[in-house]
A = this chain, B = another copy of it.
Amino acid sequence: MIPKDHPRYASLVRREKIAEAAWERIVAMEGVGSHGRGEAFDYLIGEKTTESAYLAEKTAAAFLLNAGCAVISVNGNTAALAAELIADLQTATGALVEVNLFHRTEERIQKITKLLEDNGVVVLKGDAERLLPLSHDRALCIREGIYSSDVVIVPLEDGDRCQALVNMGKTVITIDLNPLSRTAQTADLTIVDELTRAIANITSEAKLMDKNQGNKLIKNLDNKKLLKSAIQSIMENLSDAMDRKTQA
């Protein structure tokens, strides 16, 4: 049991959830490592939502509300960490939810679908077809879902898939704690924040947003600036820590 007053309680609870979900085969073993990489970047970013990440989250809410067909793409890590939060985001935005896995097996699709449904998510069903310009099973998605979307949010996504979706002309939003990753660099809108904080913020902003505010956020999107600001936050934190921790 992690004591509730531990300074890094939330992070340690997420770590435990990922480990449990790995034993249940909801999270792929590769996903446990990815979560660790994310943890390291979250540590560097200060384990809080920065101002620029919050702006990105508000902008994401605007895109989801403005879309003709918005889809939330959910993988194992996202489901393990945020099933309930995905249900809230779906209610607030009306987006479709599609399960879409990098390490795809029918067993994992079913387990993740059940986990999401148990938490109140309406999961899009249908035959997955090879519709993305990628080789092998990574091309699979549902025709009425990701394939037809104009806005898709792909948290914790692989770089190739992110690129493929951008190439298809979709507006691609990602949540990725590494501002230098290929996914972060490729997406149209990159939220450099921890997944559960990000999704909760998008949902609460979506509930409040009016059309004019949304249009303005979309018009003013400057993803390079958002990424630069995230890197600067990390550098400032490192510089502070260096001063604090390495005084002779």
Beta-carbon contact of A224 and B241 below 8 Å: no
Question: How many angstroms from the CA of A222 to the CA of B18 in the assembled complex?
Answer: 38
| Cα(A34)–Cα(B32), bound, Å | 9
Partner of A33, one of B32, B224, B234, B238: B32
Q: Which of A37-45, A133-141, A148-156 interfaces with chain B?
A: A37-45
- Asked if A128 CB lies within 8 Å of chain B CBs, one says no
Contact B32 A36, beta carbon cutoff 8 Å:
yes
Q: Is A232 located at the chain interface by the 8 A CB criterion? A: yes
Q: Which of B29, B32, B246 contacts A231 (CB 8 A)?
A: B246
**Mask for A1-37, Cβ within 8 A of B = 1, else 0?**
0000000000000010011001100000110111111
User: Given contacts A18-B33, A37-B37, is CB(A246)–CB(B234) below 8 Å?
Assistant: no
Q: Is A235 an interface residue (CB 8 A)?
A: yes
B238/A242 in contact, CB under 8 A: no
CB-CB under 8 A from A43, the residues of chain B are 37, 178, 180
A-B contacts besides A32-B32, A228-B242, A231-B246, 20 pairs, CB < 8 Å: A22-B29, A22-B32, A29-B32, A32-B33, A32-B36, A34-B36, A36-B36, A36-B37, A36-B38, A37-B43, A40-B178, A180-B238, A185-B245, A222-B248, A225-B246, A227-B246, A228-B246, A231-B238, A235-B239, A235-B242
8 pairs of A and B residues whose beta carbons are closest in the complex? A36-B36, A40-B40, A33-B36, A228-B246, A32-B32, A37-B40, A19-B29, A36-B37
Spell out A's residues near B (CB within 8 Å). 15, 18-19, 22-23, 29-30, 32-41, 43, 178, 180, 185, 222, 224-225, 227-228, 231-232, 234-235, 238-239, 241-242, 245-248
